[in-house]
Amino acid sequence: MAESAKQHVDQIRRTKFSIGGAENSLTEDLRQAVKNLSAKDVHFLMELIQNAEDNEYPEGVDPSLECVITSEDITATGAPATLLIFNNERGFSEKNIESISSVGRSTKKGNRTRGYIGEKGIGFKSVFLITSQPYIFSNGYQIRFNEAPCSHCSLGYIVPEWVEQQPSLVDIQRIYGLG
């Protein structure tokens, strides 16, 4: 799965963001729009909880969500702390990765009366209020997003970058105090 997930991320980068091709003239407009949207005063934790509620779970599994804050920088990016979100969902699908690499193309079921912005396709982007590089490790995907513009296409926030190393189970157990 990891190789096909990497190929999927490479394909998104190539076709959607023209990485390796001619630069799109709307890149700067899109960069500014995404920057402004992700900086809105939203409740990012509520969005993450809402994402967990909207996830798909295997038959017979009771959904669970755990949030862990640690002073250890498990991504080696120089962060003073790491917020880890664990969820026992099925994991990210190709459709989810394509959605999170977009603006306004949510996979949410859509219920505007709940008070969340996720159905508008910008919910996850609210994590940029607390981090400049959110990471996702799910279902073979090992990616991060970066607030800073990608050197290949001048866009930030929505361009997935493949991450070669992911935190190991030993790292996670040590954070939990199990190792």
Q: Are 133 and 157 in contact (CB under 8 A)?
A: no
Q: Report the CATH number at residue 46.
A: 3.30.565
Q: Are 48 and 131 in contact (CB under 8 A)?
A: no
> CA–CA separation, 109 vs 18, rounded Å?
30
Q: Hey, what are 140's tokens?
A: 């073979």
Q: What is the pLDDT of residues 41-67, one digit of tens each?
A: 557 788 888 888 888 899 999 999 988
110 is in which domain, residue-wise?
2-176
Number of domains in the chain: 1
Q: What is the pLDDT of residues 84-119, one digit of tens each?
A: 888 999 999 999 899 888 876 666 555 444 544 455
Task: Give how far Cα 126 sits from Cα of 104, 118, 119, Å.
Answer: 13, 9, 13
For residue 51, give the amino acid letter: N
Task: Match 């080696």 to its residue by tokens.
Answer: 76
